[in-house]
């Protein structure tokens, strides 16, 4: 019983509870019905249309809520001012409880903040609703000032990375970042829509992408996809994901996302030559028109598709709202085309009935539209491709798709594009594999070290003859021996990897006498110990660790006693050393902070796995390449210091 | 006379069956005529019934297959039919509901403070979880004043289950 409450209060409470629970259940039923409706819609074909008709008919007959439900789906959005919405979406009243173990964010968003977020998501943590709303709020504010079309140029010596559909596959996004490096001013990215639905980490992907957008607004470009649409989300999983993860604030989050989606830019153009858009084009596509449109007011593209199908279902024609919806402007249709269309081999332009929106466009339309806009290439996504990418229309249209194993494990590879100022696309393919991922996470020191060394030795072996020539230059008397200093210098000259070879020497060279290397012997040993290349398929392990060798090298540099872990003190000393040569001041606090943030299990030391993880997060291009580019002076200085 | 009565009874029965099946199917994800037991409450509510939690527990005990966590249509249909035909968990009349709120609104303010409602909903009767409570407050509280104008809420929720 409660605190001394009377019988009448008890009865009253019981009654109200019963009443309210019924109300909530009716809502849930609605949600489920909506779900089922769109599930039915997905499949074209006469049989399904009849099924849909029957289902609708039955609903109308037997569920009075259904009538309201249907009219609710198609009702015009309430016209509220942004200020009122801002108040509604305000995160400030949401408290983060003491018990919350997920990441805490501070604003303005920083690179470290996004890294923290990625780390948390890798460990399957969930971001608190307060922070979610905060990030989304900032994103919304930013998106509102972006134009419909992003015009981007690729700087000299830079490459831009273009990714396709991700569909909630967090492992693919992390894989791309691992292989390609994190977004930054030196590493611009275009994400071509469909970040959500189907996969189970749609929100995590969005938060990461939005995080990077906030940190690097000039270098990260997001295009809207057809799945950035709250009605599509109802059916394809994103709505369910949010409501499942955020039972209390899910609706608010969804509402804010709805706004954000409507404000996502529609296209990106690179150097006025390459058009990137999620779906494609039609014979009506006119970028000048699209530039000027109020993109956030465009009616949900999916509704138009739904209407197409429902228009065959006569029971709906009696509703007033139906006519209102059909009277869409040409501009709305143009935008729907951008997000929903697919290329076809034949000439022409016909409505895309399978999708229920957009069109199928032919090579003649490609030529005409590209020429009219003085463009040379159209990059789009929207369709899953076996190899992650595919050309069509005389290589004037390129489909890029970044969600590997989209249909099921092993179904397809994902890919992304790297493109320099020459605007020639280069493809990197991959396939995320669950087993492999588990392996990497629990990688033992021995394994990493072995594979890293293997990779390095492979490199050395490949450059055998060049190395010998370089060594011989330091050995004019043909003694067969050179000093360590010369060995390091020659190796660097040949391999050009920017590695501190002197430090690596103990791992690579066994035969040294009195500070001299018997280089002929060493080369011979290389040949003997050169491991057989493991024959594996496109197994992620092999690829990852081949590329990983240099990273592991840095770790070993720091792990001077080869314990497999480094203490804070070792870490601190090494960084201090580096910083004094890198011409940048890294304060003790900064080093301590860095060390602590990498020490995930908080045991006061950093083991190799943690370090690897840290480097995966702390952008390779920001830290590693930076360090490597500075290693040359470091190497030189060390040589001089001997 | 008797015949037409029988016919209408039959039609009525068949209608009831159809309704029950439609509601059931909505949650039958695997299309194998079973639903998760946790969805049964929603299904029963959506058919216009207002059982208490205790009622639900009793019902589930009757129809669940040995604590498997699933309920088969074979057992649900007859049990639910009985419920509907006998009007076992009738809806709550609006005036009764209003009275209930008025009992809780001791100062006769015409509204309830969130804390007041929370106290009753989470400590009395068949208590709400914290989540349920938060959702209720978010859904029912007036945005500006942050109080629950229960009269309005009753009317609003009766017509259109929209937030």
Q: What is the mean pLDDT of each run of 10 residues along chain A (642 residues)?
A: 68 91 77 44 30 37 42 45 78 88 90 90 93 95 95 88 96 92 92 93 97 95 91 72 86 88 96 96 93 78 45 38 45 83 89 74 96 97 88 95 77 89 93 49 31 58 79 90 87 70 68 80 65 27 32 46 64 55 55 62 65 39 34 36 30
Phi, psi of A31, deg, nearest 5:
-55, -45
**Residues A174/A182, Cβ–Cβ less than 8 Å:** no
Does the beta-carbon distance from B45 to A58 stay under 8 Å?
A: no
Task: Give B1 to chain A, closest Cα distance, Å.
Answer: 27
CA distance A47 to chain B (A): 18
Look at B125 and A36 and tell me if their CB atoms are within 8 Å: no
Proportion of chain B in helix, strand, coil states, percent, rounded to 5: 60, 5, 35
A29 membership: H or E segment, kind and range = helix A7-41
**Which residues share a beta bridge with A633?**
none
pLDDT for position A371: 97
**Residue B92: which of A18, A30, A58 has the nearest Cβ?**
A18
Nearest-Cα residue of chain B relative to residue A33:
B26
Catalytic site includes residue A227: yes
Q: Chain-centre distance of CA A357, in angstroms?
A: 26
Q: How far apart are CA A435 and CA A418, in angstroms?
A: 28
Report the gap between the CA of B137 and the closest CA in chain A (Å). Answer: 10
pLDDT at position B28 is 77
Six token digits for residue B58: 């009793």
Is the peptide bond preceding residue A33 cis, with omega within 30 degrees of 0?
no
B100, B122, B146: which to substitute to probe chain A, counting the most A Cβ within 10 Å?
A: B100
d(CA A84, CA A100): 30
A3–chain B nearest CA distance, Å: 8
- How far is CA B10 from each of CA A430, B5, B6, B21, rounded to the nearest angstrom? 62, 9, 6, 16
Report how far Cα A65 is from the mean position of its chain's Cα atoms.
Answer: 40
Q: DSSP label at A315?
A: G
Would the CB atoms of A13 and B121 count as touching at under 8 Å?
Answer: yes
DSSP state of A512: E
Number of helices (H) and strands (E), helices first, in chain A? Answer: 27, 19
- Among A128, A167, A221, A227, the one annotated catalytic: A227
Query: What are the beta bridge partners of residue A567?
Result: A605
> Model pTM greater than 0.90?
no
**Closest among A339, A342, A366, A368 to A354, alpha carbons compared:** A342
Predicted confidence (pLDDT) at residue B101 exceeds the cutoff of 80: yes
Q: What are B57-80's pLDDT values in tens digits?
A: 999 988 887 777 788 899 999 999
Q: How many CB pairs under 8 A join A and B?
A: 117
Report which secondary-structure segment, H or E, holds A550: helix A540-558
From the CA of B77, how many Å to the nearest CA of chain A? 17
Residues of chain B with Cβ-Cβ distance to A13 below 8 Å are 100, 104, 120-121, 124-125
Q: Which residues partner with A378 through β-bridges?
A: A275, A397
Instruction: Say yes or no for a CB contact (<8 Å) between A30 and B161.
Output: yes
Considering CB atoms only, which of B15, B45, B131 is closest to A25?
Answer: B45
Determine contact, residues A261/A315, Cβ cutoff 8 Å. Answer: no
Q: According to the 3-state scheme, what is the secondary structure of A412-474? A: CCEEEEEECCCCCEEEEEECCCHHHHHHHHCCCHHHHHHHHHHHHHHHHHHCHHHHHHHHHHC
B38 interaction partners in chain A (CB closer than 8 Å): none
- Residue ranges of chain A whose CB lies within 8 Å of a chain B CB: 1-3, 5, 8-30, 32-33, 36, 58-59, 62-63, 65, 68, 72, 88, 247-248, 251
3-class state of residue A339 by DSSP: helix
In order of A2, A438, A529, A618, the CA distances from A444 in angstroms are 56, 12, 22, 21
Q: What is the pLDDT of residue A636?
A: 37
Instruction: Please indicate whether, in this complex, the C-beta atoms of A21 and B41 are within 8 angstroms of each other.
Output: yes
**What is the distance between the alpha carbons of residues B43 and B73, in angstroms, rounded to a whole number?**
12
The more confidently predicted of residues A67 and B111 is: B111
- Chain B residue with CA closest to A89: the answer is B143
Instruction: Supply the pLDDT for residue A459.
Output: 64
Closest CA to A303 of A338, A327, A277, A267: A327
Q: H/E element holding A111?
A: helix A111-122
Cα gap B26→B6, rounded to integer Å: 30
C-alpha separations of B158 from A169, A533, B88, B92, B151 in Å = 41, 71, 20, 10, 11
Higher pLDDT, B120 or A572: B120
**Residue whose C-alpha is closest to residue B39's, from B47, A505, A561, A251:** B47
Task: Quote the minimal CA–CA distance from B123 to chain A in Å.
Answer: 5
Cβ distance B97 to A19 less than 8 Å, yes or no, reads yes
Run of H or E residues at A380? strand A377-380
Of B41, B136, B161, the CB nearest to A65: B161
Q: Which of B103, B126, B162 sits opposite A8 (nearest CB)?
A: B103
Are B103 and A62 a contacting pair at CB < 8 A? no
Q: Please state, in angstroms and as integers, the Cα–Cα distance from residue A395 to each residue in A366, A367, A379, A479, A516, following that order.
A: 10, 11, 10, 58, 56
**B49: chain A residues, CB-CB within 8 Å:** 22
Query: Could you say which of A29, A32, A72 has the minimum Cβ distance to residue B162?
Result: A72
Decide: A606 and A596 in contact? Cβ < 8 Å: no
Q: Spell out which residues of chain A touch residue B40, defining contact as CB-CB under 8 Å.
A: none
Q: Which residues contact A323 (CB under 8 A, 6 or more apart)?
A: none
Contact between B46 and A26 using a beta-carbon 8 Å cutoff: yes
CB contact under 8 A, B120 and A12: yes
Q: How far apart (Å, rounded) are the C-alpha atoms in residues A163 and A429?
A: 11
Which residue, B54, B26, B53, B43, is CA-closest to B84?
Answer: B43
Contact assignment for A13 to B160 by CB distance below 8 Å: no
Q: How many residues does chain B have?
A: 163
* Alpha carbons within 13 A on the beta-carbon side of A297: 9
**B45–A62: do the CB atoms touch at under 8 Å?**
no
ipTM score for this prediction: 0.90
User: What is the structure's pLDDT at A235?
Assistant: 57
**Other residues' Cβ atoms within 10 Å of the Cβ of residue A117:** 25
């Amino acid at each position: 019983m409660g605190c001394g409450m009377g019988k009448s209060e008890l009865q009253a409470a019981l009654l109200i509870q019963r009443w309210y629970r019924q109300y909530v259940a009716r809502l849930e039923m609605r949600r489920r019905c909506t779900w089922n409706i769109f599930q039915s819609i997905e499949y074209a074909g006469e049989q399904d249309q009849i099924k849909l008709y029957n289902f609708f008919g039955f609903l109308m007959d037997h569920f009075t809520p259904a009538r309201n439900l249907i009219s609710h789906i198609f009702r015009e959005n309430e016209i509220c001012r942004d200020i009122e919405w801002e108040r509604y979406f305000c995160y400030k009243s949401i408290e983060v409880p003491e018990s919350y173990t997920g990441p805490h964010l501070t604003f303005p968003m920083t690179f470290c903040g996004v890294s923290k977020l990625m780390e948390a998501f890798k460990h399957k943590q969930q971001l608190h609703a307060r922070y979610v709303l905060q990030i989304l709020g900032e994103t919304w504010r930013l998106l509102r000032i972006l134009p419909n079309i992003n015009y981007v140029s690729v700087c000299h010596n830079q490459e831009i990375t273009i990714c396709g559909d991700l569909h909630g596959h967090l492992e693919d996004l992390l894989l791309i970042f691992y292989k390609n490096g994190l977004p930054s001013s030196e590493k611009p990215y275009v994400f071509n829509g469909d970040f959500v639905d189907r996969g189970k980490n749609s929100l995590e992907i969005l938060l990461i992408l939005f995080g990077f957008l906030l940190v690097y607004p000039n270098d990260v470009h997001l295009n809207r996809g057809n799945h950035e649409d709250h009605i599509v989300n109802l059916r394809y999983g994103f709505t369910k994901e949010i409501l499942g993860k955020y039972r209390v604030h899910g609706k608010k989050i969804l509402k804010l996302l709805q706004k954000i989606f409507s404000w996502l830019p529609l296209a990106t153009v690179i150097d006025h030559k390459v058009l990137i858009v999620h779906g494609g084009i039609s014979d009506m596509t006119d970028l000048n028109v699209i530039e000027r449109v109020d993109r956030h007011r465009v009616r949900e593209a999916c509704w138009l598709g739904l209407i197409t199908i429902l228009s065959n279902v006569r029971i709906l024609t009696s509703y007033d709202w139906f006519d209102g919806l059909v009277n869409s402007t040409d501009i709305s249709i143009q935008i729907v085309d951008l997000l929903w269309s697919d290329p076809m081999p034949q000439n022409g332009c016909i409505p895309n009935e399978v999708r229920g929106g957009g069109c199928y466009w032919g090579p003649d339309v490609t030529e005409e539209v590209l020429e009219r806009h003085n463009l040379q290439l159209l990059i789009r996504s929207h369709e899953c491709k076996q190899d992650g990418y595919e050309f069509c229309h005389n290589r004037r249209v390129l489909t890029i798709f970044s969600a590997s194993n989209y249909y099921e494990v092993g179904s397809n590879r994902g890919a992304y594009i790297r493109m320099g100022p020459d605007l020639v696309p280069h493809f990197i393919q991959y396939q995320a594999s669950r087993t492999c991922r588990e392996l990497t996470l629990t990688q033992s020191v021995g394994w990493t070290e072995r594979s890293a060394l293997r990779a390095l030795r492979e490199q050395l072996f490949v450059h055998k003859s060049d190395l010998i020539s370089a060594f011989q230059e330091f050995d004019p008397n043909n003694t067969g021996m050179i000093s360590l200093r010369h060995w390091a210098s020659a190796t660097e000259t040949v391999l050009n990897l920017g590695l501190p070879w002197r430090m690596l020497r103990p791992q690579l060279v066994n035969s040294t006498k009195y500070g001299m290397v018997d280089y002929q012997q060493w080369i011979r040993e290389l040949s003997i110990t050169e491991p057989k290349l493991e024959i594996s398929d496109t197994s992620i392990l092999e690829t990852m660790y081949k590329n990983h060798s240099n990273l592991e090298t840095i770790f070993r540099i720091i792990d001077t006693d080869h314990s497999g872990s480094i203490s804070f003190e070792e870490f601190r000393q090494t960084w201090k050393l580096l910083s004094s040569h890198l011409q940048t001041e890294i304060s003790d606090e900064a080093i301590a902070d860095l060390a602590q943030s990498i020490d995930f299990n908080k045991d006061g030391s950093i083991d190799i796995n943690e370090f690897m993880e840290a480097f995966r997060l702390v952008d390779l291009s920001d830290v590693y390449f930076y360090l490597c580019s500075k290693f040359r002076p470091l190497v030189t200085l060390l040589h001089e210091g001997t | 006379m008797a015949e037409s009565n029988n016919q209408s009874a039959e039609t009525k029965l068949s209608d009831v069956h159809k309704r029950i099946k439609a509601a059931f199917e909505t949650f039958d994800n695997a299309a194998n005529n079973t639903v998760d037991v946790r969805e049964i409450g929603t299904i029963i509510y959506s058919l216009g019934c207002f059982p208490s939690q205790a009622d639900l527990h009793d019902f589930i005990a009757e129809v669940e297959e040995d604590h498997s966590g699933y309920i088969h249509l074979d057992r649900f249909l007859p049990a639910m039919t009985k419920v509907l035909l006998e009007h076992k968990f009738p809806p709550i009349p609006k005036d009764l509901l209003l009275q209930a709120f008025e009992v809780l609104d001791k100062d006769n303010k015409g509204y309830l403070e969130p804390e007041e409602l929370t106290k009753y909903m989470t400590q009395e009767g068949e208590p709400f979880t914290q989540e349920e409570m938060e959702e209720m407050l978010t859904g029912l509280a007036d945005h500006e004043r942050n109080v629950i104008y229960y009269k309005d809420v009753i009317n609003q929720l009766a017509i259109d289950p929209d937030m």
